[in-house]
Amino acid sequence: MIAAFRDASQYVRATAARSLTKSFADTSGLRSESVQGLLTRGLIDPDPGVRIQSLHSLGTFHAAAASAAVLPLLEDQSPNVPVEAAATLGELKGQGATELAKIVSGRRSFGLRRAAFLSLARIDSTAFAAVEQAWSTSGDWRLRATAAEAWVYLAPSVLLGARPFLKD
């Protein structure tokens, strides 16, 4: 897989990146740091598919230090890369709360705002609380459903309480 990650074909590189997860590294006896370094280099690949697969696999390592390399991809020109970058930040549980909060409150695509909202719940409960009310009480059912999903990351016991979405 490591050799395939360096292949000339974008499809081979994307497939290799998809395979290079924490589980694969552990099972194969590869050093996690080495695989994470390789995946970090995949974040600057010219092909968006390779960047997306690298982000997804990097998230499986749950290494907060990798957040710094992921943050610039929130502004990637390929529309699906920022969505995966936002989701990956939630997996890494490192930095990025400020950037995610801006996306949640901004005028970006619903998919990106949703991924940012869910990740914000995972990495910064205070920043999440500042934007949660607008989603929980929105007239848009998609935002309310996402708010309900986000609460699972924060406090599953709250789901038994009187959250607005329980009466939706």
Rounded to the nearest 5 percent, the helix, strand and coil shares of the chain are 75, 0, 25
Contact 83, 117 (CB under 8 A): no
Kindly report the number of other CB atoms within 10 A of residue 106's CB atom: 10
As a residue count, the chain comes to 168
What's the gap between Cα 141 and its chain centre? 22
CA distances from 30 to 8, 14, 20, 26, 70 (A): 23, 19, 10, 6, 22
> Could you read off the pLDDT tens digit of each residue along the chain, which spans 168 residues?
999 999 999 999 999 999 999 999 999 999 999 999 999 999 999 999 999 999 999 999 999 999 999 999 999 999 999 999 999 999 999 999 999 999 999 999 999 999 999 999 999 988 998 998 899 889 999 999 999 888 888 766 655 555 666 677
**pLDDT for residue 160:** 53
- Distance, in Å, from the CA atom of 13 to the CA atom of 79, rounded to the nearest integer, reads 20
- Distance, in Å, from the CA atom of 41 to the CA atom of 48, rounded to the nearest integer, reads 13
- Distance, in Å, from the CA atom of 120 to the CA atom of 108, rounded to the nearest integer, reads 16
Amino acid symbol at 97:
A
**pLDDT for residue 165:** 67
pTM recorded for the entire structure: 0.91
- Distance, in Å, from the CA atom of 50 to the CA atom of 20, rounded to the nearest integer, reads 12
**pLDDT for residue 157:** 60
- Distance, in Å, from the CA atom of 83 to the CA atom of 73, rounded to the nearest integer, reads 9
